[in-house]
Amino acid sequence: MTEGHPCFVANNGRLGFGVDEYRAYAPETAAQIRLVWLAARRDRATFTAGAGLDYGTLIAGELGEETLGRFAETMTGLGLDLDDYFLIPVHPWQWWNKLSVTFAGELAQRHLVCLGEGDDAYLAQQSIRTFFNTDHPGKHYVKTALSVLNMGFMRGLSAAYMEATPAINDWLAGLVERDELLRGARFSIIRERAAIGYHHRAYEAATAKGSPYLKMLAALWRESPVPDLAPGERVATMASLLHTDHEGTSVAGVLIAESGLTPAQWLRGYLDAYLVPVLHSFYAYDLVFMPHGENVILVIEDGAVRRTIFKDIAEEIAVMDPDAVLPPQVERVRADVPEDMKLLSVLTDVFDCFFRFLAAGLATEGVLDEDTFWRTVAECVSGYQESVPHLAEKFKQYDLFTEEFALSCLNRLQLRDNRQMVDLADPSGALQLVGTLRNPLAGR
């Protein structure tokens, strides 16, 4: 796959990579890499983990006894003790282009020590800085800081921001587990189980909050979906549904054919697995995700979508209820969103930014006409609403069958500031709303 977010004209930037680096690190080249590991003094780094996990258990499971022994020997040879340090995984590009220079003082003082590459091979995912372990697929994904411009943001990771990440994920996992409808849909998330960040004291003193200098050295570990797959199940990024080959055949079309279902039946199963959890989270909890294709994993069996797994939780979710009771560490995800903009989290993020392209692609391919597509979406929405009558007032307040909705001009955000399209602390504040779009569910 070479496509990025379909709504964006410039959706595949990687500003900072040269040609050789593109070949080495871009997801679509499928080149395996090995992560670089740095030892960071414990008094200058912060490690946090979710419930039931500690640093020693995580690192032993990720690196193994042999690699840890090799790293310990390197430290001993320098007159240092590995137990005085945390280990941080680093993108190779970040080491050679940023840390080895910008953090040279920290390295000279042995606040940081480069231990070289780990043994496991990884593949970059579509988000470019997150890696899947190909040697041991059951191990965690590793998300690294990467100071390149890609899709409207410098892709660093803030050490301060990482601290609350595991707690936010545990909170959401608990909410999902307690909800009968979400359990019934077999909906799940893969948690960001641990995070680590290095505090460069000079940069923290000299730069403002949000500076790229404060986002150069951090990482997190995210669960792999592989251990929870049943026999016959396989996973795919939801973004792949939009992918077409050189003959114009789409992944979605191939899955429909494999399933043996009619296109409308296949679509309804997919909507029940994907759209219903999005709707229920919104109406029951004022909780919104960033449910674009790259953030959603489809669990497929015999060509049909059986369930979905959402990821990229701590940086992307928001609770829009000002009165919601949240644990202190989770308070960061509360967002002040104007009433008339709340439903855009579905109408824009799902209908306009994904379904629009899926519907058009299936119609162009001759698999399913657009009228049937949107009628099936409407039937899914109605079916969900009928299943939870106690939320009827919320359905009236936020009407998914409204005649039209505000057009959010996403490309204007990138044209205005390609280094940071939106403020993650105030995602609605940056939106450029110009004109309206007719709601494809209106009148259905």
**Grouped pLDDT means (10 residues each) for the chain, 444 residues:** 74 82 92 98 98 98 98 98 98 97 97 98 93 98 91 77 94 98 98 97 91 93 98 96 93 98 99 99 97 94 98 92 95 93 95 96 97 98 98 98 92 77 68 90 92
Angle at 153 between CA 407 and CA 198, to 5 degrees: 145
Which residues lie below 8 Å from residue 170, measured CB to CB, with a gap of 6+?
A: 50, 51, 191
Torsion sign over Cα 18, 22, 23, 25: positive
Q: pTM for the complete prediction?
A: 0.94
Note the pLDDT of residue 153: 67
Note the pLDDT of residue 151: 67
Note the pLDDT of residue 444: 84
Query: What is the distance between the alpha carbons of residues 212 and 193, in angstroms, rounded to a whole number?
Result: 24
Half-sphere exposure of 95 (CA within 13 A, CB side): 18
For 348, the 3-state DSSP assignment is helix
Note the pLDDT of residue 1: 62
Angle at 343 between CA 340 and CA 349, to 5 degrees: 125
List the domains of the chain with CATH numbers: 19-160+191-224 (no CATH), 229-438 (1.10.510.40)
Residue 310 bridge partners (DSSP): 189, 296
